[in-house]
Amino acid sequence: MKALVTGATGFVGSHLTRLLSETGYSVRVLYRSERKLGVLAGLAVEAVAGDLDDIALLERACADCDVVFHAAAKADYWRDDDRDALWRVNVDGTRNLLTAAQSARVRRIIFTSSASAVGIRPGREPADESDAFNLPPERFWYAYTKQQAEAVVGEFVTEGLDVVTLNPTVIIGPGDLNAISGSFILETARYQWLTPMSSGGLAVIDVRDVARAHLNAVERGRSGERYVLNCRNISYRDWFTMIAAACAVRPPILSMPDWLLEPTARLIELLRALGISTPMDADQTRLGGAHVYFDGGKARRELFSPEVDIETSLRDTYAWYEGQGAIKRDWLTRLIGLF
């Protein structure tokens, strides 16, 4: 089979491209930056330079492909406030890609969405695919763009296009060049027991399981359906304790009370307005007291069962960053480690 992968030099896309190559697919990749093609070194892929705003180029990229994996997205949303760019890539780019795939008569499209496009439930109850997005769009713009991209998918499915949507939770694992979720490891390795924790929790899955779910969705996924990909729901206290163990540092001891989250979020907004970067954005901070948990049962029944446990994933992630020279051991890290 022949496949096109958009976002092939990204975190999910690179793992997916490698898996497709290893399982006998003929792979064509769409890329924007030639300097990032190194992540695909050694793979026999056809590389096409281009962007999601060029429908004619996308049609040529989709030509003769049996399946298209649309993994391209702007995901490092907390590092800047360019909402237009988020919309242009995540929503308009998805529409352009589906238009091209439809014109090229691609048999099936696997769309990489996000669990952030799924609604969250109160307390510690895990949400599932039936929960509609319920966060304020103006505060959670990235999640809103992914939800709107899913709405675009719905339009094409109504017209007869075969699209399966996957909604990964927080993705961890080796190869996260842009430190999207890898920032958890990098910050904990540096600040160790001083890393602040909040009272909530998150859902997490290894990138290699996400890639495998994409592959299985080609034959097992149902058109028009969405599938939450999740391995484990974890409180932040347990999460950071696990990360500290993977980094071989003392676990964090500082807990941020819930009442402090909103003032902290406002301070972050002020700092960003002044042009000062912060490791987290205000929206992430506001969710710090929520248990953003998800039920991945539907995907487990129909697509795959996660194989990489989170402890292993964290150790592999730390080892990969250490091999890349990304683990900082400056005077601050050494000083913290003395206490």
Q: Tens digits of per-residue pLDDT, 205-229?
A: 999 999 999 999 999 999 999 999 9
Q: Are strands 201-206 and 232-235 parallel, antiparallel or unpaired?
A: antiparallel
Q: How many residues does the chain have?
A: 339
Q: Within 10 Å of residue 288's Cβ, how many Cβ atoms?
A: 23
Catalytic residue numbers?
Answer: 146
Rounded to the nearest 5°, which phi and psi values hold at 221? -70, 150
Q: Which residues on adjacent β-strands are paired with residue 206?
A: 172
Instruction: Please tell me the predicted confidence (pLDDT) of residue 79.
Output: 57
The parts of the chain modelled with pLDDT lower than 70 are 76-81, 278-279, 331-339
Question: Rg for the chain (alpha carbons), in Å?
Answer: 20
Instruction: Please tell me the predicted confidence (pLDDT) of residue 280.
Output: 72
- What global pTM score does this model have? 0.93
Q: Which residues on adjacent β-strands are paired with residue 36?
A: none
Q: Within 10 Å of residue 333's Cβ, how many Cβ atoms?
A: 15
Instruction: Please tell me the predicted confidence (pLDDT) of residue 247.
Output: 93
